């Protein structure tokens, strides 16, 4: 397993941007696929974006396409989530999740059960 630490959350106004980071340690970073999930107050945790272990595949929740971008830097062992044109409904705790993949599984999966390492979360609050 890897250990994950998220950062970059904060309080921003509507229309602004934030970049979240998720730093991994403890195992071979390039063997892992990563997702971002978020949990808003009173709601279930939901899939935001994912990137495959090779980085060749990415996917997003349909409602977020065009505003959010996921990327990875294997040298820095870091996953990023660039969020632009933020809206109050983006307010949530954002979690990074990692799952080890074999070389035939170079795709994104949006299911929490496919990930066994989770960060502690970082709060994003968007004010109107």
The residue ranges of the chain whose pLDDT is under 70 are none
Say what the pLDDT of residue 103 is: 80
Q: Select from 34, 40, 27, 39 the least CA-distant residue to 106.
A: 34
Q: Where are the beta strands (DSSP E) in 8-121?
A: 10-13, 18-25, 32-39, 46-51, 58-60, 68-73, 78-83, 92-100, 117-118
Say what the pLDDT of residue 33 is: 97
Reported as a single tens digit per residue, the pLDDT across 101-122 is 988 889 999 999 999 999 999 9
Say what the pLDDT of residue 27 is: 83
Say what the pLDDT of residue 1 is: 84
Say what the pLDDT of residue 102 is: 85
Say how far apart CA 41 and CA 74 lie, in whole Å. Answer: 33
Say what the pLDDT of residue 40 is: 97
């Amino acid at each position: 397993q890897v250990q994950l630490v998220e950062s970059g959350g904060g309080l921003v106004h509507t229309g602004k941007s934030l970049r979240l980071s998720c730093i991994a340690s403890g195992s071979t970073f390039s063997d892992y696929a990563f997702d971002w999930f978020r949990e808003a107050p009173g709601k279930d945790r939901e899939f935001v974006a994912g990137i495959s272990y090779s980085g060749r595949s990415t996917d997003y929740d349909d409602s977020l396409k065009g505003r959010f971008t996921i990327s990875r830097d294997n040298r820095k062992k870091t996953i990023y989530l660039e969020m632009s044109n933020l809206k109050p409904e983006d307010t949530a705790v954002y979690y990074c999740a990692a799952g080890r993949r074999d070389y035939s599984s170079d795709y994104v999966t949006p299911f929490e059960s496919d990930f066994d390492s989770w960060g502690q979360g970082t709060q994003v609050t968007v004010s109107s």
